[in-house]
Amino acid sequence: MSRQRHRQALFVDTSAYFAAVDRDDENHALATMTMQHLANEPRLFVTTNVVLIELHALLVNRINRQTALLVLKELLASQRIVRIGTIHERRALEIMTDYTDKDFSYADALSFAVMERLSITTAFCFDRHFQQFGWQVIPDDG
């Protein structure tokens, strides 16, 4: 448990997981390389059950049911999964209300709410909305 406290938390978005799995995704090579690099660092990968729901649906529709199930099982066993609660839902609605000039999805806003609550400042993603909200992202496109 104390070892886990010393690991820096990193939020992982649907876009990163999907790119790592789908060989046809334009970000596949970068996602795979980034995932391998991150695996060698003392990082705690954090995501939400909503991200997993979104990812599973994408994998079922774009790859196949077997791959989707395999990936889901692996992530459930290896990542810290935050279950979305009322407090996250309320904050997500505030975010979408306050940022009327952005097209954040509800899933994005829920992710932001979780990141705020857990004081996570960096996300592994290929979704521009995370940078728009002010988070650091890996890989950095700069």
Looking at every residue in the chain, the average pLDDT score rounds to 93
State the pairing for strand pair 122-124/136-138: parallel
Tens of pLDDT along the chain (142 residues) come to 444 445 799 999 999 999 999 999 999 999 999 999 998 888 899 999 999 999 999 999 999 999 999 999 999 999 999 999 999 999 999 999 999 999 999 999 999 999 999 999 999 999 999 999 999 999 986 5
The model's pTM: 0.92
CATH 3.40.50.1010: does it fit domain 9-138? yes
Q: Are 95 and 109 in contact (CB under 8 A)?
A: yes
Domain ranges of the chain: 9-138
Q: Is the dihedral of CA 8, 6, 118, 86 positive or negative?
A: positive
pLDDT value, residue 3: 45
